[in-house]
């Protein structure tokens, strides 16, 4: 299993709405995440900076990354765009983190 860590960047007035939208995650989006191998997925928010830290585990990173090609993922990105920093394709601006320590 591969572990993925990323930082994304919320607008400071969007914290509550971001949390609400994830609490009401569309069933189709949840299904797409599972179909692309996402497991043990958590997102944490630093309210002082607006940074989120996302952690998930996947069996195959390349297979997981193909979720970006799905219509439901693109729809989710568009839905979330007003709440966070995004790229031209509406995907969230994300910084991939390098794992430097892990303890089982």
Q: Which residues are catalytic?
A: 22
Q: Which of 58, 37, 45 is nearest to 15 (CA)?
A: 45
Q: How far apart are CA 79 and CA 62, in angstroms?
A: 24
The 3-state DSSP composition of the chain as helix, strand, coil percent (nearest 5) reads: 40, 30, 30
């Amino acid at each position: 299993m591969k572990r993925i860590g990323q930082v994304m960047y919320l607008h400071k007035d969007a914290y509550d709405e971001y949390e609400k939208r994830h609490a009401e995650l569309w069933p189709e989006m949840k299904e797409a995440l599972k179909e692309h191998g996402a497991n043990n997925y958590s997102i944490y928010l630093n309210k002082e900076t607006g940074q989120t830290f996302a952690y998930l585990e996947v069996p195959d990173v390349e297979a997981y990354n193909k979720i970006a090609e799905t219509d439901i993922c693109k729809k989710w990105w568009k839905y979330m765009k007003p709440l966070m920093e995004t790229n031209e394709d509406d995907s969230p601006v994300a910084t991939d983190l390098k794992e430097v320590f892990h303890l089982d």
